[in-house]
Structure 1
Amino acid sequence: MTDALGSIDMPERGRSESEPEKPVSSDNVGTDESTEAETKKSRKGGKRAKKGPLARLGLFYRQIIAELRKVVWPTRGQLTTYTTVVIVFVAVVIGLVTVIDLGINEVVKYVFG
C-alpha cells in the first residue's frame, strides 16, 4: 500500500492485492530484484522526452481539449441563477461601501471642520 499523502489505497504497481508481500529478512536485504530491474529499465524523459516545438504545441492543445471535455458545464437555468446571485451580491457590497464612505466623510468633516 502507498503511504504518500493524498494517495488512494491502491496496490503497488505490478502486484495484485491478493499477492502477499515478501517478508524482509536479513539475508535478502539489499538484493531486491525489483529495485535492480527498475534501475535497469529506467529511461530518460519517458512521455516528456524532447520533441519538436510543433509536437509539444500539438500535445498541449490536445491536453486542453481533453480537460475541457471533463468539465461539467452549467445549464442555462443554473447560469442565470449564478449570474443573478453575483449581481445582487455586488450591488449589496456597493451599497455597504457607499454608506461606510459617506459615514467616514461626515466624521472627517466634523473632526477637521
Structure 2
Amino acid sequence: MSESQARREESPRADRTKKRATPSRDGAPQSKEKRPNIFKRMVIFVSQVISEMKKVIYPSGSETWTYFLVVIVFVAAIMAFTGLLDFLFGRLNSLVFG
C-alpha cells in the first residue's frame, strides 16, 4: 500500500460515501406531543423576544457618533470614486464617438 493511501485510510474524513439508503419519513417515530394553540405560541414568542432584547447592549453616544462619521466618510469616498469613473467614461465616450 502506498503512503498516500495509508494516510487516506487513517483520516476520519477519508470515506464520505453513504453506506445505506436514507431512511424514509414513514418509518420515523411519530411525536405524540400536541402543539400548544396559536395564542399560547404567540405569548411564548413575545416573551422570548423580550428576554432577548434585554440582552442587547446599545452603543453609547460617542460610539454612535463615531459610527455615523465612519459611514458618512465611506459614502463620500464611494461617491467620489463613482463620480470620477463617470467623468472618465464620459470623456472616453466623447473621444470615441465624437
Relative contact order: is structure 1 or structure 2 higher (C-alpha 8 Å, sep ≥ 6)? 1
RMSD of the alignment, in Å? 1.4
**Of 51, 60, 73, which residue of structure 2 is paired with 1:88?**
73
Structure 1 vs Structure 2: percent identity of aligned residues?
32
> Could you list the runs of 5+ residues in structure 1 that have no partner in the other structure?
1-42
Structure 2 CA distance for aligned equivalents of residues 44 and 98 of structure 1: 64
Q: In the TM superposition, what whole-angstrom CA distance separates every residue of 1:18-76 from its partner, at most 9, and x where no partner exists?
A: xxxxxxxxxxxxxxxxxxxxxxxxx645xxx5111111111111111111111111001
Q: TM-score, normalised to structure 2's length?
A: 0.63
Matches within 5 A, 1:36-55: 44-45=32-33, 49-55=34-40
Matches within 5 A, 1:1-113: 44-45=32-33, 49-113=34-98
Count of equivalent residues: 68
Q: Give 4+ residue runs of structure 1 displaced > 2 Å after superposition.
A: none
Q: TM-score, normalised to structure 1's length?
A: 0.55
Structure 2 CA distance for aligned equivalents of residues 77 and 103 of structure 1: 39
The one-letter amino acid of 2:61's match is R
Structure 2 CA distance for aligned equivalents of residues 110 and 96 of structure 1: 21
